[in-house]
Amino acid sequence: MSVKAIREHTGKSLLQKLLPEYSGGKHTYACPGVLVNPDVLDKTSSNTWGAIVDANPWLKEQNLVAKPDQLIKRRGKAGLIAVNKTFDEAKAWVMERMCKEQKVEEVTGQLTHFLIEPFVPHKQEEEFYICIHSLRYHDEILFYHEGGVDVGDVDAKAERLQIPTGEDPSATVVVEKLLSKVPADKQGNLSSFVLSLYKFYKDLHFAYLEINPLVMLSDNSVVPLDMAAKIDETAVFLCAQKWGEIDYPPPFGRAAYPEEALIREMDGKTGASLKLTILNERGRVWTMVAGGGASVVYADTVADYGWGGELANYGEYSGAPSTEETFVYAKTLLSLMLRYKHPEGKFLIIGGGIANFTDVAATFTGLIQALQHYADDIKEHKIKIWIRRAGPNYLEGLRKVKAAGEKLGLGLKVYGPETHITAVIPMALGLSEPLPEPDLSAPCGPPERKLLKVSGTAAATAKEVSPATKHTLVTATADTTCIVYGLQNRAVQGMLDFDFMCKRKKPSVEAMVFPFSGNHYVKFYWGTEETLMPVYTTTKEASEKHPNASVFVNFASFRSVYETSMDAMGLSTIKTVAIIAEGVPEQQTREIIKTAEAKGIGIIGPATVGGIKPGCLRLGNTGGMLDNIVMSRLYRPGSVAYVSKSGGMSNELNNMICRCSDGVCEGVAIGGDRYPGSRFLDHFLRYQDDPNAKFLLLLGEVGGTDEYDLIEAVKSGRITKPVVAWCVGTCASCFTTEVQFGHAGAQSRGDTETAAAKNKAMKEAGFHVPDSFDKLPALITKVYTELVEAGTIVETPEGETPQVPMDYTWAKKLGMVRKPASFISSISDDRGEELKYCGVPITEVFQQEMGIGGVLSLLWFRRQLPTECMKFIEMILIVTADHGPAVSGAHNTIVTARAGKDLVSALCSGLLTIGPRFGGALDDAAKMFADAYDSGVSPKDFIDKMKKTNQLIMGIGHRIKSLANPDQRVVIIKEYAKKHFKSTPILDFALQVEQLTTKKRANLILNVDGCIAVSFIDMIRSCGAFSREECDDLQSFGCLNGLFVLGRSIGFIGHYLDQLRLKQPLYRHPWDDITYIQELAGQS
């Protein structure tokens, strides 16, 4: 999610729709034109030229302008605008170019979308230039009194008006600052348009809007002739209704692939982050990288080693994608790789940063499925696969994929966190000797660091430094505590485990805030002991109850993070706010920054994983799982303080620093948005004034200018400590088109914002800058060694590694412990990608149209019964659904409903009447008839035996029905059983009994309960799905009564709803329907 360019037609359509609203009706824009796409080449489409003209008759009523609408700059100079043409001329001009290759400057691409709009006759002096764009602290309007293709360098000569965040300019200011060279008679109307345009820009969350030329005609109407615009896509939840459907086209010169659309669609439906951009479909080097920052680093390293021309794709899969999502992503990538052969083969590099919470083994299961799918093709295309991965359960993931690779004969090479993140790239490309693959029998532990031998006793000469200044961001201590917004139990437990490992005296989290469930407590572990954490509904109450908590860790979603952060900053006790959410609209971020700086509050984020100060404080999920905390020795302070844009890369820096020095002093991921709440300089000034930070590390990226502030601080002498630095995004120079990298801010808006320019400037300023990110570990080692030898850093022996108890859930997942389950369930499973009924996915239940009978067979009988059996079950439910309001169950339900009770209470009232006298005869009838038949007794002897023992024959008898007047329910059940079941011996036996009992009395027929019971026993015995023992068990378990309960519940609920619909009052039984007996017992 980021700032994205939109088509000119989209921008003009929005202006046409909303300009009257923002100008109070003073300004209108008549026609934004019509967009023509390749559908016009298809005579069967609904978007032919004829259909376009029918929908836009003005096309034949006036002269037109035609031009490509594909984010092409300087179309006029490229001869790509047809002006003052008739419709037929414009159509011919478009058709000559539609789907044809076109070179524009250095980029060649296919023309596929054209804008046709009315031609507006005007004079040159009626043209103006206007541009609105956003910066960290203000929006800026650039205006020039001349416009058109020859306007020249507007940056140098335009008038400028800076509008502070959250403010609106007046007409007077607009005239004074921007329109001084515009004729006086036009200033009023033009200033009104500028103000309306700014409201439009601001309310619809534009990030850039340029109109050149903007024409003001003699009648004072204003018309935008040419427009370029970018919208903050993250504001979709605020602006979706006003925006409508927005098409975000790819940059000109890069085709839109259906595979990209597939991944984009998946990304929109998941909480994970899935991105894919095809750069060169014939390229030899393909990457599958987890993490936004890591994806850029991998692309950089490929380019830095001279393979940029062969880099085929850019993308990421991160944020804990499911097994299925990883499978689809990997399968899509492999299908693209296999599209073209290369005689020398190809490379697939699978990697990523050390994950915070993604289960690597789960994602690799999806990867293995994709490798199995394409194994033969992979070998045929000579694709070499190199893997480097780390994070939760990484060892199991590497084991699985290594074993699968050996079984499939793919020759995979796998590495873990013992190698740094990009080490596999030069090995894969044959540029360095492959390192031995790690032993996968045990996880990678912390490095065994030997103290450096120091020659001499020379102490470092301290440089003269500027005096320390007051910092907005407060450096954490071992006493700093937090309030966490959101029920982020895993993150809070991770913070507490870190505290315990660091030997803090008390937990760093004092309280949590969750507005939706009332004040309560949540249980956490402090070491092995349990402790209770208070949860409040408001941040204000939490702050009042815990005034010492100075840090607010905000896990609110991007939709509510603005309000919750502003609320927190209104409290005097809060000094630092960490905003974890990604996708926060830039306008909201800028307002947060403005408020924070006015109040002297430090901000980390948005889009941050947090920060970590070993021995003191961990914010959120920074540092990952506990095993990574131990591996990177983050439980005790080191000498290196770093700042990273990327949260995922901060784990890699922790690992890298630990292996190349004595460890991390402090680390912060400021977030990858264009306007991070705090900048590099804010943190580096703190580090400069912290005597424990001996040297500093910066991981910047393409886009923005914050690195230059740091350069000035070094040049001015404000920062004197050694700085090792690298800006990622150097691969951008290899791309002929603009690429949006993983972070919203990772996009250059000028030559000085490129990674290469910033790396060069930092090197010239005295920073330690490697030639490539891949060389960063060696440079850290070199600088650290020099500082130790100079006496700036005094090494100490490594202490004992602390132990923290592992959570049972995670230990069980790793296969380290086992425990008998409290419950066993064999009928359903909700743990996977979708719900399963007895192993059958819910989607398959619908695809096979099993119906309620099929669902019941799966959940009750743990198997899928034949179709005729599933239909019979549904018939039972239908015929037992209701038997009128007079029966005891329905009566009870109605009385309870009329007493004002809820549905469940009324239903239970009716169900509790079911028993031997009402509805409960099914099980007894089944047992009686089945036992009699199985014993071989004749129907007459069975009747005689029941008579002698004074037992009623269950399932025989009806109040009014007889053989001459049969119960139609019995007829339906009986006929279905005879027609569809292989045999019906129990039903036949019961019918023989009926012939005898009806001779005594006509209404002693086989009733519906009896018919259902005996037919059901015949069904389960004859369908072939059950053994005889299983049939007897089902009979004894009471499932027949269960069918009656299930069916009759339908009717009971119907009676409940009926009484409410009829608004029936409280029921009171009438006196005249009660016989009152006054005598005492025993009196005659």
User: Among all residues, which ones are annotated catalytic?
Assistant: 743
Query: 181: how many CB neighbours lie within 10 A of its CB?
Result: 12
Token duo for residue 721: 């400590």
Sequence-distant (6+) residues with CB within 8 A of 880 are 919, 1008, 1012, 1043, 1044, 1047, 1048
Any idea of the CA torsion for 788, 793, 796, 798, to the nearest 10 degrees? -80
Q: What gap in Å lies between CA 746 and CA 744, rounded to an integer?
A: 6
Of the candidates 574, 488, 493, 509, which has an alpha carbon nearest to the alpha carbon of residue 539? 574
Give the span between the Cα atoms of 798 and 116, in whole angstroms.
72
Counting Cβ atoms within 10 Å, is residue 949 exposed (0-12), middle (13-18) or buried (19+)?
Answer: exposed
Environment class of residue 912 by beta-carbon count within 10 Å: exposed (0-12), middle (13-18) or buried (19+)? exposed
Going by C-beta distance under 8 Å and a sequence separation of 6 or more, which residues neighbour residue 165? Answer: 137, 138, 139, 587, 590, 591, 593, 594
| C-alpha distances in Å from residue 1002, one per residue of 87, 979, 986, 997, 1009 | 91, 26, 22, 8, 18
**Chain centre distance of CA 1032:** 50
What are the beta bridge partners of residue 316? Answer: 275
Which residues partner with 529 through β-bridges? 526
Instruction: Quote the tokens at residue 108.
Output: 């060649």
Closest by CA to 1011, choosing from 904, 913, 897, 872, is: 872
For the residues of 714-765, what is the DSSP string, one character each?
HHTTS--S-EEEEEE-GGGGG-SS----SSTT-S-SSGGGSHHHHHHHHHHT
Nearest 5°: phi and psi at 666? Answer: -165, 150
Helices (H), 281-359: 292-302, 323-337
SS3 content of the chain, % helix, strand, coil (to 5): 40, 15, 40
Q: Which residues contact 407 (CB under 8 A, 6 or more apart)?
A: none
First to last CA, the chain: 91
Contact 285, 312 (CB under 8 A): yes
CA distance 688 to 720: 7
860 neighbors 870 (Cβ within 8 angstroms): no
Contact 694, 640 (CB under 8 A): yes
Pairwise CA distance, residues 929 & 987, whole Å: 9
Nearest to 186, CA basis, from 146, 162, 211, 218: 218
Residue 539 structure tokens = 């941040």
Tell me how many degrees the CA angle 200-203-204 measures, rounded to the nearest 5: 80
Question: Element (H or E) spanning 595, and its range?
Answer: helix 586-599
CA angle 185, 186, 191 (to 5 degrees): 130
Distance CA 495, CA 623 (A): 10
Supply the Cα-derived Rg of the chain in whole angstroms.
38
Please name the residue that has the structure tokens 């300009």: 19
User: 446-452: long-range contacts (C-beta < 8 A, 24 or more apart)?
Assistant: 446/630, 446/631, 446/632, 446/633, 446/658, 446/801, 447/658, 447/659, 449/662, 449/798, 451/795, 451/797, 452/785, 452/788, 452/789, 452/795
Tokens of 770: 């490697």
- Pick the closest to residue 629 from 480, 793, 501 (CA basis): 501
SS3 208: strand
